[in-house]
Amino acid sequence: MRVRELAEWLGCTYEGEGEREITSAAPLESAGCCHISFVSNRKAEAQATQSAAGCLLVPVDFDNAKGRTVIRTPDPRGTVARVLHRLHPVAKPLIGVHPTAVIHSTANLGDDVSIGANVVIGAESSIGANCIVSPGCVIGRRVVLGAGSTLHANVTIYDDIDIGERAILHSGCVIGADGFGFVMTGDHYEKFPQVGRVHVGNDCEIGANTCIDRAALGVTWIGEGVKIDNMVHIGHNCRIGNHVVIAAQTGFSGGVIVEDYAVIGGQVGIGDKARIESRAVLGSGCGVLTSKVIRKGEVVWGTPARPLKEILEQLANLAKLPQLREEVAHLKAELARLAK
């Protein structure tokens, strides 16, 4: 695609060789003459002068073009994501139902769906228009899969699950397994029946091998636009707000509430009924205790999770302990000398 055509499609202005052909995107340090790359911070600005990229996506006020071919945009990082979609379109499978798929007679398939090999779809389930259900997926009874959604290979969706439009579920994820609910009865644990549901909103993406448990009673709720990384566990009766981002290997105990636009780093552990308020940020590896409230916009880290400034002050003090130990030993020796 030519630079001129790409700029027109983006609705942006360009400078330099408008007829230069761009075939792919690449990092600044490895880009060549047919690649596009982007400049989004000061470090990248310094690298841009040495880059061999054929075209650069740069901020509107970028003043170091020096005869380079550039496309100016208010958001270079966001724009390169759009460019990647254009230059590397996802290949869509053939429309239709594979002969090995097993679909219940009461299930409803929308227009232009693609149902892969060995897919199972249960009674009274509904698959929206333009959905892609890849090989090996199992969809239970009374499931609703919204239009334009994609299930990658070997996704399992239990009974009574609602998934919104344009969802992307990656391989191996499990939606609607029983929550971890047991009651001590006498000398043994009795299973507490998990009879609730899971709701996943529109435009969500759920990573590989992630598990979202059904509610014991009621609904485990995933809001609009939530992005969940690989190997995340969300326990029964959690409520995840809109546009929350959750990185890999994070675990939510039952009944956790996460409000809109929160950001949760990798390997975070969150106890029962904790509450994460809107736009809070949980640093990777931190631990949130049961019933703890992380306040709106707060940045926390550590276990138990505490405000980042407090954690950094404590780490700085810990770093001084060896010196403090030497000083104390010196003072003890001086006191002993004076006592003689």
Model confidence at 197: pLDDT above 90: yes
User: Does 261 or 337 have the greater pLDDT score?
Assistant: 261
- CATH homologous superfamily, domain 96-309: Hexapeptide repeat proteins (2.160.10.10)
- In this prediction, residue 312 has a pLDDT band, given cuts at 50, 70 and 90, of confident
Closest CA to 155 of 130, 180, 121: 121
Mean pLDDT of 160-164: 97
Residues marked as catalytic? 236
Rounded to 5 degrees, what angle do the CA atoms 185, 187, 190 make?
40
- The encoded tokens of residue 291 equal 């019933």
Q: For 104-121, what is each residue's pLDDT tens digit?
A: 999 999 999 999 999 999
Lowest mean pLDDT among 41-45, 236-240, 266-270: 41-45
3-87 under CATH 3.40.1390.10, yes or no? yes
Model pLDDT, residue 266: 96
The letter for the amino acid at 149 is S
Specify burial of residue 292 (Cβ count, 10 A radius: 0-12, 13-18, 19+).
middle
Task: Using pLDDT thresholds of 50, 70 and 90, give the confidence band for residue 63.
Answer: confident
Q: What is the pTM of this model?
A: 0.85
In three-state secondary structure terms, 128 is coil
Contact, 211 vs 234, CB < 8 A? Answer: yes
Residue scoring higher pLDDT (329 or 163): 163
Tell me the C-alpha distance between 7 and 73, whole Å: 9
At residue 249, the pLDDT reads 97
H helix or E strand, kind and range, residue 35: strand 35-38
